[in-house]
Structure 1
Amino acid sequence: MSSSGDFWAVILAAGSGTRLAASVGGVKKQYLNWKGMPLFWHSATTFSRIPRIKGLVFVFPPSDIDKMKERVDELNSSCSLGLTYKVVSGGERRQDSVFNGLKDLPATCSHVLIHDSARPFASASMISSIIDELDKGASGVVPAVKVTDTIKTVNGNTITGTPDRSDLRAVQTPQGFPLHLIRKAHEISDGEGWNVTDDASMLEMMGESVVVCQGEESNIKITNPEDLAKLEETKMYVPCVGWGYDVHRYGSGRPMVLGGIPIPGGPEVVAHSDGDVLYHALADAILGLFGGGDIGLHFPDTDAALENMSSGIIVMEALSKAEAEGIKIVHADLTVIAQIPKLAPYREQIRKNVASVMGLPQSRVNVKATTEEKLGFTGEKKGIKAVATVTGVRLADVDG
């Protein structure tokens, strides 16, 4: 039996997070920042990568609802989900918040996945397996993992039994259901005054059969202060590379400077600033690390205030912008291309100066010089050019 209609997800972010409040300055756990985004948004982006999911309902505390409507719109503007979404108020208990979310699902929705925003590590592949089971006609699907600890039942501080752990499972979210069934379960629960800790329990109490699929050990719930360490453990850094290129022609203008080092006897260059072709290529490469445009955008040659300005200032400004974007630069590889002058006597001075400006060990800066075998405008001694490659690392935005 295959399902018809749309799949939606309800993301629960309406809890108070009292057990974590003291450890995070009173911030509710669903709003904790991780990889530049609040926890609830990481779950949203995971759902957005699943083609079968057509929309999301975010459930927030009533006191935060106006602020969070704006926040979700802001997040979607900068990192679009590509999905329809709604923002609704939660209730006093978890099950009340779920019921509020279910009430806002559209008529086209046939199945719903209910997820706790405090589980930001749930994978797209696990969610897809839940959908697969629902497609087969399951009344409810819950991801679960085997219990590895021995479990005891107790009365006060006295052990009353030891269940066979081979029959025990620790369940997770998201949990998936046909919408008409889970709505009916919540209506009955509301009328009968049931108190449950997950949605599958309601279907069990109705006599419906709920199946489990394989959960994930990594799909932990952020609940206690020690769980915050899990967020740190999963930080992942990714490399980024910027490439820069610049050219200046020879002629009456500025004395030659390369990498901040004067080159006595070198041809003069025509330029608006001090004409340091190597620093210009380096600055463009640094800007390229984070999509920051080029130096013409930030330092246009039409600005009279920049006349004869030191190109070192341009590099420092680019470095400042990279730092603001969370980039850590680890290496620079620079090449000057010119028939004249001979740069071998100045190579180590340039390397030392560039490393100092960039705050890097000299071992992480490489400076080369080459000719183009008397070909082209550099070979004809009409000008000089430089290329630069800069490597950095930055915190990954989201899980891949």
Structure 2
Amino acid sequence: MKNYWAIILAAGQSSRLQEQGLKTKKQFLTWKGLPLFFHSLVKLANFPKIRGVVLVFSESELSLWQERALNLAFEQGLNLALRFAAGGRLRQDSVFNGLQQLPEECDWVLVHDGARPFFSLQLVSRLFDLAESQPELAGVIPALKSKDTLKEVEANKVKKTLDRDKILRIQTPQLFSFSILKQAHLKAREEGLVGTDDSALVEALGREVGVVEGEEENLKITTQDDLKMLKKEKKVIYKNGFGYDVHRYGGDKPLILGGIPISEKIKVTAHSDGDVLFHALTDALLGALGEEDIGTFFPDTEDTYANMPSSIFFREALLLALKKNFQLVHLDLTIVAQIPKIAPFKRQIKKNLMGLTGLGEEDIALKATTEEGLGFTGAKEGIKVYALVTVKKEEEVENEDL
């Protein structure tokens, strides 16, 4: 099994932001209760292949932040090895110093900027997948295509228009063969080469570097505008609602479930059309929204709702969810009945629910069961439905740490 490590760079001076009045270096800004660089460490600790991380701080801050990082890692329960290095004058000097702290048995190293906390583990996985599938590569980097037209300009005059399909915006984290990256840095120091990222130094060796798709969200905090991403966070709120309804057999309404006619012979007692599935589902959705039950909104004492299709009740609850900025995420429904057999109708019911809600097939669970001859359903006296609904909404909240 290959040995993978990572280097997180947190030795920068944040000169641009400090010129704009920021007193704290960006990598040490508190975000969600933790220093900015530490969010990258937490993510990488959750990637199973990475055995350890080298944290690089400026020489003057190394002792202070080494102690703080170790304490935070203990508090957060991070289970990976940590090593530390002092930064250098240039970014590549900091990487070089970090490389010296890696164990000899390291095979591949992931290099990442501590001021870039928004990357996902899916991105990291893409890097590893390409490196493992194409062993001739010396490294793999994430990149994004440009959405804008690109020009080469000299002395405020356009020289030519560039082919934007061939020019990509490069991000970190970047993954490299440890031995090759070390060789690339040694050559750069010997020949005075300066690269804006590590892949440039690897390219100077004449080695191939692969590319995977990057992420628009994976921004590096560099300017005051970037700080807005930290100041306004998106908070996702999930809520669940439970619904239950029952109808007695022997009435005058043909049995309908989820808007699908089931049986003309089996009839239910009801004020509306008696669709017990939509009644339970509507109650569950209202519950998730923190509202009163279905009887409060659509009382069975009012003639307005007599014989009304119960899908209308559910549609009204969906509109209420939209007004409250909630989005339907998942439905879990269980129909309990001795008779009739529900299995032949499940596909139709599910398809109808997909059309009403816009949910995908995997977002709706529809089950049917009996009570093995027990209770009123077992005695073939009625039918009942349990419903569980999940909704979510996104809210922007101010980060009080900044």
Report the TM-score, using the length of structure 2 for normalisation: 0.58
With structure 1 as the length reference, what TM-score do the two structures score? 0.58
- Percentage identity across paired residues of the two chains: 40
Query: 1:55, CA displacement in angstroms?
Result: 0.3
State the match for 2:245 in structure 1: none
Mapped partners of 1:77, 1:22: distance in 2: 35
- Taking the TM superposition and a 5 Å limit, the aligned residue runs for 1:1-400 are 4-23=1-20, 25-136=22-133, 137=135, 138-236=137-235
Deviation at 1:235, TM superposition (A): 3.9
CA distance in 1, matches of 2:21, 2:68: 20
Distance 2:47 2:74 in 1: 20
Q: By how many angstroms is 1:80 displaced? A: 2.1
Deviations 1:16-44, CA, capped at 9 Å, x for gaps: 00111255641111001111111100000
Q: Quote how far apart the aligned CAs of 1:156 are.
A: 2.1
**1:60-80 alpha-carbon deviations (Å, 9 max, x no partner):** 011101100111012112112
> Which runs of 5 or more structure 1 residues have no equivalent in the other structure?
241-330, 332-392
Distance in 2 (alpha carbons) for counterparts of 1:91 and 1:239 = 45
1:119-140 deviation digits (Å, cap 9, x = unpaired): 1001011001111122121211
Query: 1:238·1:396 contact (CA, 8 Å) conserved in 2?
Result: no
Contact 2:231 2:398 (8 Å CA) reproduced: no
3-state SS, counterpart of residue 236 of structure 1 = strand
Distance in 2 (CA, whole Å) between partners of 1:205 and 1:83 is 33
Which secondary structure state, in structure 2, belongs to the residue aligned with residue 153 of structure 1? strand
In structure 2, C-alpha distance between the alignment counterparts of 1:11 and 1:73, rounded to whole Å: 14
Spell out, residue by residue over 1:44-71, the C-alpha distance to the aligned partner (whole angstroms, 9 max, x if none). 0110111000000000011101100111
Q: Which amino acid aligns with 1:160?
A: K
Distance 1:86 1:8 in 2: 10
Residue pair 1:134, 1:178 contacting (<8 A) in 2 also: no
Change (3 A) 1:213 1:71: same
Deviation string for 1:82-110 (max 9, x for gaps)? 10011110100000000000111002210
Q: Distance in 1 between matches of 2:23 and 2:398?
A: 26
Q: Distance in 1 between matches of 2:204 and 2:84?
A: 29
Matches of 2:238 and 2:158 in 1, distance apart? 53
| Distance of 1:18 and 1:163 partners within structure 2 | 31
Q: Secondary structure at the match of 2:162?
A: coil
In structure 2, the gaps of 5 or more residues are 240-289, 291-394
8 A Cα contact 1:109 1:179, kept in partner: yes
In 2, the alpha carbon distance for the partners of 1:215 and 1:53 equals 20
Which letter does structure 2 place at the counterpart of 1:34? Answer: W
SS at match of 1:162: strand
1:235, 1:194 → 2: CA distance?
41
Give the conservation status (yes or no) of the 8 Å contact 1:235–1:396. no
Looking at structure 2, the residues matched to 54 and 151 of structure 1 have their Cα atoms a distance apart, in angstroms, of 41
Cα RMSD, aligned residues only: 2.3
Deviation for aligned residue 1:236 = 2.2
In the alignment, the residues of structure 1 paired with residue 19 and residue 228 of structure 2 have an alpha-carbon distance, to the nearest angstrom, of 15
What is the rounded CA distance, in whole Å, between the counterparts of 2:164 and 2:7 in structure 1?
31
- Indicate the structure with greater strand content: 2
Deviates more, 1:198-207 or 1:181-190: 198-207
In the superposition, relative to structure 1, how do residues 159 and 187 fare at CA in structure 2: closer, same or farther (>3 Å)? Answer: same
CA contact (8 A) 2:233 2:398 kept: no
Q: 1-side partners of 2:132 and 2:94: how far apart?
A: 26
**Inter-CA distance 127–152: structure 2 relative to 1 (3 Å threshold):** same
Structure-2 separation of matches of 1:178 and 1:172: 18
Contact 1:65-1:89 at 8 Å conserved across structures: yes
Query: 1:396 Cα deviation (Å)?
Result: 12
Aligned residue pairs: how many? 244
The residue type equivalent to 2:179 in the other structure is H
Q: Deviations over 1:317-376 (max 9, x none)?
A: xxxxxxxxxxxxxx9xxxxxxxxxxxxxxxxxxxxxxxxxxxxxxxxxxxxxxxxxxxxx
1:41, 1:124 → 2: CA distance? 15
Amino acid at match of 1:50: F
| Counterpart secondary structure, 1:82 | coil
Distance 2:188 2:19 in 1: 33
Cα offset, 1:233, TM superposition: 3.5
Task: Measure how far apart 1:239 and its partner are.
Answer: 7.4
- The one-letter code of the counterpart of 1:39 is L
